Structure 1
Amino acid sequence: MEPAKRYDIGDAARYLDVAPSTLRYWESEGLVRTERNPENDYRQYSLHSLIDASEIAFYRKLGVSVKELKGYHDLTIEALDDTLERTATDLARRIAELDSMKLQLEKQQELNAIAKDLAEHGARFSAPAVTQLRALDYRMPEIWQLLVSEPWRYGILIEAAHPETIVEALADTDLPDASPLWKKTPDAAHRPCLECLLRVSLDASESTASSLFEEARRQGIRPSRLVGSYLLSATEPSGGQRYDYYRAWIIGESRT
């Protein structure tokens, strides 16, 4: 009968999809057992050792800590079942978190696409997608969680008579304590509105609101105000200054 094959640490690490240093660390912590080649004292792994190490690699990928795995080899079937159940519960929680992160990522990709399209094609006639703006009161604790998880809910309102004044707002939220600032009227589809990309400096000391109001006037709109919702923050390719970008609509009173 031929002697059982042994694998060196490089082969073992490749089969397990881990670094050789990881295998050495697991061995030092008692998680993996190895043999030594009598000719050169190099580590070598039997097939059984690889199978045993594969279980450690599996649990580590699931997020089970090295500290928790130190007693792995002493677990009974019942204890192992308890460990698997706890790991399954934790994995379900992590999957839910990843699903939520994926949705937020897809939303941000959508917002980036809107910003790129508006930057490339410029202003266009379009009814506002934002339906209402409410006053942003930083004393309201619930707004922090809202804006951290859904930053596109951060809105702004700028009156055409005062383009230098930016009023912070909450876009399309129903927080009961937030005072209404603006609401989309039923006849919005028939009013002259210009969709555009608004750029605001990070300290809100300057914006492109004045030039956007002028553009609206050139297109025959008598602007009353600008409403918008946050898209993203990015650095300009020329000049290197960073700005906040908003999907905005110039609301017109009538055509001039």
Structure 2
Amino acid sequence: MPIAADTPLSIGVLARQADVGVETIRYYQRQGLVRAPKKPHGQIRRYDQQDVHRIRFIKSAQRLGFSLKEISELLRLADGAHCAEASQMAERKLHDVRQKLADLTHMEAVLNHLVSACHDPDKRVSCPLIRALESGDA
């Protein structure tokens, strides 16, 4: 049964709705990304749907490769009035992703060559992979 939008949530329910662990929420709180509501004397902290949306925002940004520091900045821009700044951050992240892809493509090519060399039936030398790693040619 769904929980009403205005029903206060325990940290466990918040975690389930945001699809994260309780410790993730606590970590985000320590990092200043998620508020830690006041704890009434003798009771537990209560969260709301805004907290669910904030955690989902954080997780979505992480899936795109943004660091927690970058996400903190994105959260500051989350009112939608700072599109140019958000776009600049996304452009930098896109550049980083493209660089990583180029690096991975290079790694794939080198490994593919070395694996092929290892399986060469005519090889007359020691293992090409080990030799390449030792010489720094990889």
Q: TM-score range by the shorter chain?
A: 0.5 to 0.7
Compared with structure 1, are the counterparts of its residues 3 and 69 closer, same or farther at alpha carbon in structure 2 (3 Å cutoff)? closer
Structure 2 portions without partners, runs of 5+: none
TM-superposed deviation, 1:88: 1.5
Q: Residue in 1 aligned with 2:69? A: 66
1:232 aligns with 2:106: no
Question: Once superposed, which parts of structure 1, at least 4 consecutive aligned residues long, lie more than 6 Å away?
Answer: none
Contact kept? 2:74, 2:86, Cα under 8 Å? no
TM-superposed deviation, 1:93: 0.9
Contact kept? 1:9, 1:43, Cα under 8 Å? yes
Structure 1 portions without partners, runs of 5+: 124-195, 201-230, 235-241, 247-256
TM-superposed deviation, 1:3: 7.8
Partner amino acid, structure 2, of 1:12: L
Partner amino acid, structure 2, of 1:95: V
Q: TM-score w.r.t. structure 1 length?
A: 0.39
Compared with structure 1, are the counterparts of its residues 117 and 67 closer, same or farther at alpha carbon in structure 2 (3 Å cutoff)? closer
Contact kept? 2:38, 2:45, Cα under 8 Å? yes
1:21 aligns with 2:19: no
State the structure with more CA Rg: 1
1:48 aligns with 2:50: yes
Partner amino acid, structure 2, of 1:232: L
Partner amino acid, structure 1, of 2:80: I
Compared with structure 1, are the counterparts of its residues 7 and 197 closer, same or farther at alpha carbon in structure 2 (3 Å cutoff)? farther
Q: Which has the higher helix share?
A: 2
Compared with structure 1, are the counterparts of its residues 78 and 36 closer, same or farther at alpha carbon in structure 2 (3 Å cutoff)? closer
Q: TM-score w.r.t. structure 2 length?
A: 0.63
Q: Distance in 2 between matches of 1:104 and 1:63?
A: 23
TM-superposed deviation, 1:85: 0.3
| SS at structure 2 position matched to 1:101 | helix
RMSD: 3.8
Compared with structure 1, are the counterparts of its residues 86 and 107 closer, same or farther at alpha carbon in structure 2 (3 Å cutoff)? same
Contact kept? 2:14, 2:52, Cα under 8 Å? yes
Q: Residue in 1 aligned with 2:99? A: 97
Q: Percent identity?
A: 16
Q: Distance in 2 between matches of 1:71 and 1:105?
A: 32
Q: Residue in 2 aligned with 1:112? A: 114
Q: Residue in 2 aligned with 1:198? A: 125
TM-superposed deviation, 1:233: 1.9
Contact kept? 2:77, 2:86, Cα under 8 Å? no
Q: Distance in 1 between matches of 2:115 and 2:80?
A: 52
Q: Distance in 1 between matches of 2:107 and 2:74?
A: 39
Q: Residue in 1 aligned with 2:80? A: 77
TM-superposed deviation, 1:110: 1.4
Q: Distance in 2 between matches of 1:37 and 1:4?
A: 18
Contact kept? 1:60, 1:66, Cα under 8 Å? no
Count the aligned residue pairs: 131
Offset from partner CA, 1:206-229 (integer Å, 9 cap, x none): xxxxxxxxxxxxxxxxxxxxxxxx
Q: Distance in 2 between matches of 1:69 and 1:20?
A: 20
Offset from partner CA, 1:1-24 (integer Å, 9 cap, x none): x78344433443455454433322
